[in-house]
Amino acid sequence: MPVLNSKFSGVRFKQFLVAHDMCAMKINTDSIILGSWTKPLDSDFEILDIGSGSGVLSLMMAQQSAEHAHITGVETDKKSFEQSIKNSLSTRFNAKIKFVQSRIQHFYSSQRYHLIISNPPHFQNKSSQHAIADKHLHRMEARSQETLSPDELLKNVDRLLDASGRFCCVLPTQMIIQFEGLALLYGLYLNKRLDVHSCANNISIRSLLEFSYKKHSPAVSSLVIYDTHGSYSEEYRALCHDFYVGF
């Protein structure tokens, strides 16, 4: 499992440590599972992390990718952007990573990306969250689709993805049918799906998706995080083995 560091707000992984005290969104299980499930290929020279936050997904991609790969993290929030740079500087992967403060809609690149990864906003809109206290508005802004709707996300993925590239993301399971339909409008086909269950008897609340421009029958699988004894399952340990301390 990740180890919380008592001296600051952050998480220690096997090969790097990530602070997240300045970030709107803290490191969560969604990102860790997505970063563990998404395996960069040796041919993935250019990798893009949309909504990079603390930089945890960019660092996970840097750890797993080829030596010559380059990872670009795009983050709109200034404090998160600043913290991602600090987190990267403290690792041996720093030369492979750069962070850009920008909305993805305003981000331009001279090259297409072989792999795009994102843990995108999940809330439908901020108006549906009136009960959230003011101190949580920064976090809610980071998760609100008003900053990046599903259609805008896919539009920019299509703009930036290489013709042979892949796009991987994590979404609430109830959103995937709508999201897959939107993706088809941009010629993106679902190739892989992983449905995540907290326990074997619970319904899936999160799904990991991989899209490309190549049409395949999607490979669908499932992951259970906790076994019947309340311990991490063997399959979850195996998936996150390269990152979680103690796995």
Q: 177-185: long-range contacts (C-beta < 8 A, 24 or more apart)?
A: 178/150, 179/150, 179/154, 179/209, 180/209, 182/150, 182/151, 182/154, 183/154, 183/211, 185/154
Residue 136 neighbours by CB distance under 10 Å: 12
Q: State the pLDDT at residue 1.
A: 53
Residues in the chain with pLDDT values less than 70 = 1-8, 122-146
DSSP code for 53: T
Distance CA 106, CA 73 (A): 14
113 bridge partner residues: 161
pLDDT given for residue 7 in this prediction: 59
Sheet holding 206-212, edge to edge: 97-101, 70-75, 46-50, 113-118, 161-172, 206-212, 189-197, 219-224
Q: What's the confidence (pLDDT) of residue 127?
A: 36
- Say how far apart CA 129 and CA 134 lie, in whole Å: 11
pLDDT attached to residue 144: 41
Q: How far apart are CA 202 and CA 197, in angstroms?
A: 6
Q: What pLDDT is recorded for position 8?
A: 58
Does residue 227 sit in helix, strand or coil?
Answer: coil
Structure tokens at 44: 């993935």
- Count CB atoms within 10 A of the CB of residue 219: 11
User: Any idea which fold 3-239 has?
Assistant: Rossmann fold (3.40.50)
* pLDDT at residue 89 in the model: 96
pLDDT of residue 197: 97
Structural contact between residues 96 and 70, judged by C-beta atoms closer than 8 angstroms = yes
> What pLDDT score was predicted for residue 121?
79
